[in-house]
Amino acid sequence: MKVKVINKSGNALPAYATEFSAGLDVRSNNTDTIELKPLGRAIVPTGLYLEIPAGYEVQVRPRSGLAAKKGVTVLNAPGTIDADYRGEVCVILVNLGADPVVIERGERIAQLVLAKHEVIEWEEADELAESERGAGGFGSTGVK
């Protein structure tokens, strides 16, 4: 699937780390270092601008290594970049670790995943079909 991209970052375009990777590693394009204090958050620019085809979104997801090693994750994961958005792609990072973390320019900060989606057409009803689960939620299945 071709996606038009403008790259104003000076970094390489996002790339798949391995042949079967689902996400492309995206790099930061901050001019100054960003220090994320514990529980601190920042909107980190990437210098990328996308033209996503209709019927698709680009999801912004955390990098497992950054989360496991430093406690840094994407705050609104997965973030959604809609097909009609033309502004700069930015990533909301949060530090859930105990120590401050510095984000350097060009550092891999997140993954981008292209995902097809459907458009909901609501069908109003007075009742819904019965199911085994019913209205049980938030741990009601008993699965551990």
Tokens 């105990």, located at residue: 98
Q: What is the CATH number of the domain that holds 43?
A: 2.70.40.10
Q: Say how far apart CA 25 and CA 76 lie, in whole Å.
A: 17
pLDDT band at 132 (very low <50, low <70, confident <90, very high): confident
Q: Contact, 91 vs 107, CB < 8 A?
A: no
Please list, in sequence order, all residues whose beta carbon lies within 8 angstroms of the beta carbon of residue 30, skipping any fewer than 6 positions away: 44, 45, 103, 104, 105
Establish if 132 belongs to a structural domain.
no
Counting the structural domains of the chain, the total is 1
Query: 65 lies in which domain range?
Result: 4-116
Residue 137, token pair as written in the block: 């939620």
Within-domain flag for 143: no
Residue 106 lies in a domain: yes
Region 65-71 average pLDDT: 96
Q: Which carries the bigger pLDDT value, residue 135 or residue 69?
A: 69
Is residue 17 scored above 70 in pLDDT? yes
How much is the mean pLDDT over the chain? 95
- Is the pLDDT reported for residue 96 higher than 90? yes
pTM of the complete model? 0.88
